[in-house]
Chains A and B, each alone.
Chain A
Amino acid sequence: MAKPSFSDEIANLLHAGHGNPLRTCIQCGTCSGTCPVVEYMDHTPRRIIGMIRANLKDEVLASNTYWYCASCYHCTVRCPAQIDIAETMYALKRYSIWKHVHQEGLVGPVFSETFVKTILRSGRSFEPILATSYLFSSGARELIQEAFMGTKMMLKGRMPVLPPRIKRLDNFKRMVSRVIPLEADS
């Protein structure tokens, strides 16, 4: 059997997409015109879809576009070709984590993995909190400000000191191991 093309892989990567009809893209640019992050992206959403279709795998994966996507789904609800662009961005994130290829210096990939580990360990998490502590430990100077914000919230009694846990954690971990092979490391 022939190896699936990059564009087929991405189109079919997500269950929710049920096969995203990337081929039907008419390159109208509605997605790019809607996207609130477009000016910060290496390639606009329209271009990324075009590049996926052209199987420009390396260029697509090397771009910051899908990591900068905020998952606001505004493009998705407006696309005249019913392409779920936001889910495509998720598909790219997943693909790049699998393959360990992404642009240097991005916080997103490492954070995603840290976040998942936290949930697998406790059943609970909290994205903004984890973001704060993650940024703190990552040590980047301009990001430390976030941590100060965290401190202020702690003083106001809004930050948990200990991460909460669910009760039936053993069941939970066994449940997880039935869908993904990796054992939750505790």
Chain B
Amino acid sequence: MKEFAYFPGCSLEKVGLSYHLSTVETTRKLGVDLKELEDWNCCGATTYFHVDELLAYTLCARNLAMAEKDNLDLVAPCSACYKNSYFTNKHLKEDPDLAEHINYALEEDNLNFSGQIEVKHLIEVFVHDVGLEEIRNNVSMPLEGLRVAPYYGCQILRPRKDHEDVEQAEFFEDLLSAIGAEPIPYPLKLKCCGGSLILSSREAALSMVRNLLQNAEDNGAEVIATACPMCQVNLECYQQQVNQEFGTRFSVPVVYFTQLMGLALGIPAKKLGIGKEIVAATPLAPYAR
């Protein structure tokens, strides 16, 4: 049994609830035990680093220290949480002075960072720790014929990594193939969705979402799969506004990769949070139980 400390992040409590539900269901089915951090705090998202870098490290370090207490690697399903935790872990490991400073703050919560664990994105756990072979062996409802655009977004891959090629990722496609779906070529798969740019420039943010939708549609996607709650919100919830703004008629469902996996593993749609979409996920109906 593989066990990880699970850091769901604030997005998964409500807005990304389907992601949480489908994460819990799929990991359970594949023999991965997720132990939710007992009192995790917000990682600060992108905004924190604007205001105070030390504080941002402290927030992430508190979560890391709680995982260390259980001696478990930390897994985050949100790309922004992942990136923040990953880099805090890396910088603190490399810089003992910084770690000492942060540990002084953590004392207040009886915690300590010692750099014992690794940070992983949820999709890596499936691809590397569980393995595609194991996933294939557990598929009972292959998603044959379902054309899926694998949307990586930015922060799963960037700005790291230590070795792998950040411009040529294929693991999302491999995962989709393992569950029987058909990953379509999606040239913009690594392009940013705008993050919280909607705050600074609605115009810029909507045009970025538009490009991503257009590219998916042009390549025949029936659904877009994401691995980040923010990407999901941006691509799904702004579709209507994109349509108003640009006179387009997009209606592309945007689902979590774990929801697709769940269907392939024979888990009932309802348990995976399917049905909470704003753009109905009708192409999934033939595979749903």
Contacts and interface: CB of A to CB of B under 8 A. Distances in A.
Chains A and B come from one and the same complex: yes
B21 to A, nearest CB: 12
A97 B204 contact: no
Majority secondary structure of chain B interface residues (helix, strand, loop or mixed): helix
Interface string B153-167: 011001100000011
A53 interface: no
B139 interface: no
Contacts of B104: 178
Given A40-B204, A153-B278, A116 B53 contact: no
Contacts of B109: 168, 171-172, 174-175
A93 B201 CA distance: 16
Interface in A108-136: 108, 111-113, 115-116, 119, 123-129, 131, 134-135
A183 to B, nearest CB: 13
Contacts of A179: 52, 54-55, 58, 101-102, 105
Contact of A84 (B14, B159, B238): B159
Interface stretch (A44-52, A55-63, A71-79): A71-79
Interface in A19-74: 36-37, 39-40, 64, 67-68, 70-74
A159 interface: yes
A180 interface: yes
Nearest to A138: B199
Contacts of A153: 15, 237, 278
B184 interface: no
A86 interface: yes
Nearest to A122: B42
Contacts of B53: 14-16, 94
Taking residues whose C-beta sits less than 8 angstroms from the other chain, chain A's interface range is 35 or more
Given A37-B197, A40-B203, A127-B45, A72 B154 contact: yes
A6 interface: no
B203 A107 contact: no
Nearest to B234: A128
Nearest to B16: A158
A67 B241 contact: no
A151 B102 CA distance: 39
Contacts, number: 199
B197 A180 contact: no
A18 to B, nearest CB: 8
A73 B158 contact: yes
Interface string B47-86: 1111111110111001000000000000000001000000
A37 B154 CA distance: 14
A139 interface: no
Contacts of B190: 74
A73 B200 contact: no
B158 A76 contact: yes
Interface in A139-153: 142-143, 145-146, 149, 152-153
B41 A172 contact: yes
Contacts of A107: 199-200
Interface of B: 10-11, 13-15, 17, 38-42, 44-55, 57-59, 62, 80, 87, 91, 95, 98, 101-102, 104-110, 154-155, 158-159, 166-167, 190-192, 194-204, 208, 230, 233, 237-238, 240-241, 276, 278
Complex A-B, nearest 7 residue pairs according to Cβ-Cβ distance, in ascending order: A72-B192, A73-B158, A73-B159, A171-B109, A178-B105, A93-B50, A126-B10
14 contacts: A14-B53, A73-B158, A74-B190, A76-B158, A77-B167, A119-B41, A119-B42, A126-B13, A128-B233, A149-B238, A157-B276, A158-B17, A166-B41, A179-B55
Given A125-B42, A149-B237, 5 more contacts: A36-B194, A76-B158, A90-B50, A113-B51, A178-B104
